[in-house]
Amino acid sequence: MTTTSGLTILGAMHSGFEQILTPEAQQLLVELTREFRPQLKTLLAARQSRQQQFDGGTLPDFLPETASIRQGDWTVAAIPADLQDRRVEITGPVDRKMIINALNADVKVFMADFEDSQAPSWTGVIEGQINLRDANLGTIHYSDPQSGKQYALRDNPALLIARVRGLHLWEKHLLVDGEQVPGSLVDFALYFLHNYQTRLANGSGVYYYLPKLQSHKEAAWWDAVFRFTQAKFNQPVGTIRATVLIETLPAVFEMDEILHALREHIVALNCGRWDYIFSYIKTLKNHADRVLPDRQVVTMDQPFLSAYSRLLIKTCHKRGALAMGGMAAFIPAKDPAANEAILAKVTADKEREASNGHDGTWVAHPGLAATANTVFNRYLTDGKRNQLDVSRADDAPVTAADLLAPSAGERTEAGMRTNIRVALQYIAAWISGKGCVPIYGLMEDAATAEICRTSIWQWIKHGKSLSNGQLVTKALFAQMLAQESAVVRAEVGEALWQEQNFAKAQQLLLQITTADELVDFLTLPAYELL
Ligand SMILES: CC(=O)SCCNC(=O)CCNC(=O)[C@H](O)C(C)(C)COP(=O)(O)OP(=O)(O)OC[C@H]1O[C@@H](n2cnc3c(N)ncnc32)[C@H](O)[C@@H]1OP(=O)(O)O
Ligand SMILES: O=CC(=O)O
Ligand SMILES: [Mg+2]
């Protein structure tokens, strides 16, 4: 259907969708797309040419042309009162029940996710906007058809921040001038339009998380999008506030520049560790001396990850921005002894972040909020809301070599087989519309699944051997994929195997892992199947 505004809507207009895709929303999408899509394409092309340099042997480094920004004396705009204390944030997809449970959890913030934990099906995207609108209005409720349990918001729910899709994702159900609209702009625009009045009436602002940026020029693009939107709705600069995930290897070398480009809108950077590990693999995919070991040993105490966390804190605090920690992928277990072990691991992870100087952290599940609170409450006593006073100014400088340091650890047959089973199950879930799933006791989302499949691709590319002496080849992978698919088929049962498109997932995993060129994001070919 092509509307009078010039937007073509290819997705079905289910009941209630007209409240989101209103004429005003359509107009905003058309204007934003016409204004910002051409530059976005240039930025995406720049990612490719920069990657060609890394593929040719160049290593990422701090940019000489922006040295004056790094050396300059400046800070970002003051942080609004309701964003000062973010000691524990829960994250999760924009399903109705999850939103209510997240906002009711014992956390300061809920990051409502259109990215790593959300498969962007048409209904998921638009229903997500309905759900967030109702959440901001305070009217959201849900009745579970299976259990009959009723869900509604508690008093003083957590603060809501929406994470939009990454710049690489397109919305195939919406066309402007015959071409797809950037998914990032769809999520941004619809969330702004349907919530800014409610949020401002409540004395707050419109808050976003921005994922997967690769350069300060992309940050400047977002800054321009914010300015355009604020001006259009006669709202002052700073109505919109952003937290930027530093979760790509190129971006870690441009943290000052990203803060500077967004200085009137930014409040924090966040260590998105899972995408960061994925990006380390992808960016350095041709560098035989930087191939990572098993995913299980790439933990935050690896030198390159420790350097990343410390430099992010130092950079943010120097500029007056918060430095958010990231996600431990553990989720609670039913068995009490197993759960105790999980809580101990989460405690250790959060302790490392808090003692480094992070201002807050993420949890994947409400059952982990108390554990994370306990750790951060010990650092935030006597009315302290954050650790902006921890400057790390006396630390030895974090160098490019520190940020790129190779990781010690084995590549094992068990590690490779686990990667296969996890990637297979995750892709099957994603193309069936579910972007975050529990697999073998861990939270798995787009970022963690990317690590699984790119690790194997890189082991094949560089002819790495496993600790048992087996050479990792395309043939070995294909053989293990067939074997592990049979294991998963037995584990999930025939009905789910058929229902969740496991055969398609198996085919896609085979294709992207044995391709000569690394596929940029698994969600790009997977989106064709969604
Ligand atoms: C790399 C990154 O980007 S990290 C950020 C992206 N990832 C995420 O956001 C992870 C979000 N977490 C999740 O989606 C879920 O925790 C999962 C899928 C991993 C596990 O969910 P479930 O299988 O439902 O777990 P479980 O059965 O233990 O849930 C118990 C209850 O907690 C709720 N719950 C679990 N996780 C969350 C969450 N993140 N937010 C809100 N509620 C949650 C469930 O809805 C369920 O509620 P109910 O008792 O009312 O039915
Ligand atoms: O988005 C978070 C990450 O770890 O990736
Ligand atoms: Mg991420």
Distance linking the first and last C-alpha atoms of the chain: 21
Q: Which of 74-78, 198-202, 267-271, 498-502 has the lowest mean pLDDT?
A: 498-502
Give me 478's structure tokens. 């294909």
pLDDT digits (tens, 9 = 90+) for 439-489: 999 999 999 999 999 999 999 999 999 999 999 999 999 999 999 999 999
Q: Which atom of ligand 2 is nearest to the CA of 326?
A: 4
The C-alpha atoms of residue 102 and residue 160 are separated, in whole angstroms, by 10
Residue 447 CB less than 6 A away from ligand 1:
yes
Give me 125's structure tokens. 């995207």
The C-alpha atoms of residue 410 and residue 440 are separated, in whole angstroms, by 21
- Residue 42's alpha-carbon distances to 16, 38, 319, in angstroms, are 36, 7, 29
pLDDT digits (tens, 9 = 90+) for 393-413: 999 999 999 999 999 999 999
**Pocket-testing residue among 118, 246, 443, ligand 1, by greatest number of atoms within 8 A of Cβ:** 443
Give me 243's structure tokens. 């937290």
**Mean pLDDT, residues 48-58 taken together:** 98
Q: How confident is the model at residue 72, as a pLDDT?
A: 98
Cβ(278)–Cβ(451) below 8 Å:
yes
Least Cα distance to 323 among 223, 246, 262, 382 occurs for 246
Sheet containing 7-9, strands listed edge to edge, beginning at the edge strand earlier in sequence: 7-9, 170-176, 179-182
Q: How confident is the model at residue 312, as a pLDDT?
A: 98
CATH 3.40.640.10 fits 413-529, yes or no: no
* pLDDT-derived band at 3, boundaries 50, 70, 90: confident
The C-alpha atoms of residue 416 and residue 462 are separated, in whole angstroms, by 15
The C-alpha atoms of residue 400 and residue 479 are separated, in whole angstroms, by 39
Q: What share of the chain in percent tops pLDDT 90?
A: 99
Place of tokens 């015959």: 178
CA–CA–CA angle 23, 228, 195 (5° rounding): 55
Is the model's pLDDT at 4 over the cut of 80?
A: no
Q: How confident is the model at residue 62, as a pLDDT?
A: 98
The C-alpha atoms of residue 478 and residue 462 are separated, in whole angstroms, by 17
Average pLDDT, the chain: 97
**Mean pLDDT, residues 305-315 taken together:** 98
**Most distant CA pair in the chain, distance:** 65
**Mean pLDDT, residues 314-334 taken together:** 97
Rg of the chain over CA atoms, in angstroms? 22
pLDDT digits (tens, 9 = 90+) for 363-382: 999 999 999 999 999 999 99
Give bridge partners of residue 327 from the DSSP assignment. Answer: 362
Cβ(256)–Cβ(246) below 8 Å:
no
> How far is the centre of ligand 3, averaged over its atoms, from the C-alpha of 285 (Å)?
19
Residue 90 CB less than 6 A away from ligand 1:
yes
**Mean pLDDT, residues 318-333 taken together:** 97
Protein residue whose Cα sits closest to atom 1 of ligand 2: 272
The C-alpha atoms of residue 56 and residue 46 are separated, in whole angstroms, by 15
Q: In which element (H, E) is residue 504 found?
A: helix 502-514
Question: Residue 320: which region, alpha, beta or left (left: phi > 0; alpha: psi -120 to 50)?
Answer: left
The C-alpha atoms of residue 337 and residue 334 are separated, in whole angstroms, by 9
The C-alpha atoms of residue 273 and residue 294 are separated, in whole angstroms, by 16
Protein residue whose Cα sits closest to atom 2 of ligand 2: 272
* pLDDT-derived band at 1, boundaries 50, 70, 90: confident
Is the model's pLDDT at 104 over the cut of 90?
A: yes
Residue range(s) in the chain whose domain bears CATH number 3.20.20.360 = 7-400
Least Cα distance to 250 among 285, 281, 286, 214 occurs for 214
- Fold adopted by 7-400: TIM Barrel (3.20.20)
DSSP string computed for 208-242? EEE----SHHHHHHHHHHHHHHHHHTT--TTSEEE
Residue 103 CB less than 6 A away from ligand 1:
no
Cβ(206)–Cβ(195) below 8 Å:
yes
Q: Which atom of ligand 2 is nearest to the CA of 211?
A: 1
Q: How confident is the model at residue 467, as a pLDDT?
A: 98
The C-alpha atoms of residue 393 and residue 82 are separated, in whole angstroms, by 27
Q: How confident is the model at residue 2, as a pLDDT?
A: 74
Residue range(s) in the chain whose domain bears CATH number 1.20.1220.12 = 413-529
Place of tokens 């994922």: 211
pLDDT digits (tens, 9 = 90+) for 190-227: 999 999 999 999 999 999 999 999 999 999 999 999 99
The C-alpha atoms of residue 435 and residue 116 are separated, in whole angstroms, by 7
Residue 438 CB less than 6 A away from ligand 1:
yes
The C-alpha atoms of residue 251 and residue 276 are separated, in whole angstroms, by 9
Task: Give 218-225 contacts, CB < 8 A, sequence gap 24+.
Answer: 218/43, 218/167, 219/244, 219/257, 219/258, 219/261, 219/262, 220/261, 220/262, 221/36, 221/39, 221/40, 221/43, 222/262, 222/265, 223/261, 223/262, 223/264, 223/265, 224/36, 225/32, 225/36, 225/185, 225/188
Which ligand sits closest to the CA of 142? 1
Residue 85 CB less than 6 A away from ligand 2:
no
Cβ(277)–Cβ(449) below 8 Å:
no
Place of tokens 């950037």: 182
Q: How confident is the model at residue 437, as a pLDDT?
A: 98
> Which positions are annotated as active-site residues?
163, 445
Q: Which atom of ligand 1 is nearest to the CA of 99?
A: 41
> How far is the centre of ligand 3, averaged over its atoms, from the C-alpha of 186 (Å)?
19
Is the model's pLDDT at 5 over the cut of 90?
A: no
pLDDT digits (tens, 9 = 90+) for 273-284: 999 999 999 999
Give me 98's structure tokens. 């999850």
Residue 174 CB less than 6 A away from ligand 2:
no
Residue 213 CB less than 6 A away from ligand 2:
no
**Mean pLDDT, residues 7-35 taken together:** 97
